[in-house]
Amino acid sequence: MSQDVGELLLRSVPFARTLGIVFDTAEDGRAVCRVPPRADLANHVGGPHAGVLFTLAESASGAAVLSLFADQLDRAVPLPTTATIAFRKVATGEVRASARLSASRDDVLARLDAGERPEFDVEVEITNADGVVVSTLTVTWTLRPNRP
C-alpha cells in the first residue's frame, strides 16, 4: 500500500511533483517522504525555503491520512483544516518529513458513522540529513462526508 499512497498523492497534487517529493513509506497512519536539495528551492540562507518545508510536511501528513482512510474516499474527502509549523533550526541539504496520526482509525470512523465530521491531528517532524529536527508541524485533518 505504501507505494500506492505515494503515487496517488503525486497524481492528485501536482505541486508535490513540482517540488520533487519522494515518498518512502505510507502505512498504518504513518508516512515518510523527502525532498532532495535543489538550488531552485533554496531560501536566502541556502536551505530549503519555508514553503518547501511546509509542503513536504503537509504532504507527509496527507500520505499518513490516506494510508488509513483511502478505502473511505467513496464516502468522505480528507481535507486539512489548520496547520501550525515551528521552525527550530536552519535546514540544509535533503530534508525528510515523518508523519504520524494521533487518532485511531476506529475512533475517526466511529465519528464519521455517527454523522459527525471528525477532526484529528497529524504530527510531523522534519529532519535534515543528520537526523536533526529542523521543523515540526501539526496538521488538523477532517473527513468531510461526500455530498449526495
pLDDT tens column, 70-93: 999 999 999 999 999 999 999 989
The neighbouring-strand residues paired with 23 are: 33
Question: Does residue 2 surpass a pLDDT of 80?
Answer: no
2-145 belongs to CATH 3.10.129.10: yes
- pTM greater than 0.75: yes
Contact 56, 95 (CB under 8 A): yes
- Single-letter residue type at 9: L
pLDDT over 70 percentage in the chain: 98
Please report, for the chain, the start and end positions of each structural domain, with discontinuous segments joined by +. Answer: 2-145
What value does the mean pLDDT of the chain take? 93
